[in-house]
Amino acid sequence: MTITPADQVEHDTPSPPATPRRRVLAWRGLLARHWLFALLLAGGVAMRVIVWLAYQPALIYTDSYNYLYNVDPLNPQYLDPIGYPLFVLKPLIPIGGLALVSAVQHVAGIGMALLIYRIARRCDVWPWLAALAAAPVLFDAYQLQIEQNILSDVWLEFLLAVLLWQLVGRAKIPGPRMAVFVGLVLGAAMMVRMVAIILIVPVALYLLITGRQWRVPGGWRKIAARVGALVGVFGLIVFAYAGYFHYKVGYWGLNTASGNSIYGRTAEVADCSKLNLASVLAQLCPKEPLGQRLGTNYYAHLDGDPNWPGYVPPGETKYDLDRQFATIVIEKQPLDVAKAMVIDFGKGFLPTHLVLPGDPPNWMWQFQPFFPVYTQDPNDTKTDPFAQENGLALQFGNKGLSLNNGLAQFLSDYKQHGYVPGTALGVFALIGLVAGLTRRRSGLAGATLFTTVIGLSVLGLAAAFEFSWRYQLPGLVVFPLAAALGITAFVRNRRTVA
CA distances from 192 to 189, 312, 362, 424 (A): 5, 31, 23, 27
d(CA 187, CA 196): 8
Residues of the chain with pLDDT under 70: 1-18, 25-27, 171, 257-258, 493-498
CA distances from 394 to 57, 110, 172, 377 (A): 10, 28, 49, 19
CA distances from 16 to 6, 127, 470, 473 (A): 18, 27, 50, 45
**CB-neighbour burial class of residue 114 (10 A; exposed 0-12, middle 13-18, buried 19+):** middle
Question: How confident is the model at residue 10, as a pLDDT?
Answer: 40
Q: Which amino acid is at 20?
A: P
| Cβ contact 462:195 at 8 Å | yes
Q: Which of 130, 112, 33, 122 is nearest to 444 (CA)?
A: 122
Question: How confident is the model at residue 345, as a pLDDT?
Answer: 95
Question: How confident is the model at residue 5, as a pLDDT?
Answer: 41
Question: How confident is the model at residue 110, as a pLDDT?
Answer: 98
Question: How confident is the model at residue 306, as a pLDDT?
Answer: 81
| pTM: predicted TM-score of the whole model, two decimal places | 0.91
Question: How confident is the model at residue 17, as a pLDDT?
Answer: 66
Could you give the maximum distance between any two Cα atoms of the chain, in Å?
A: 82
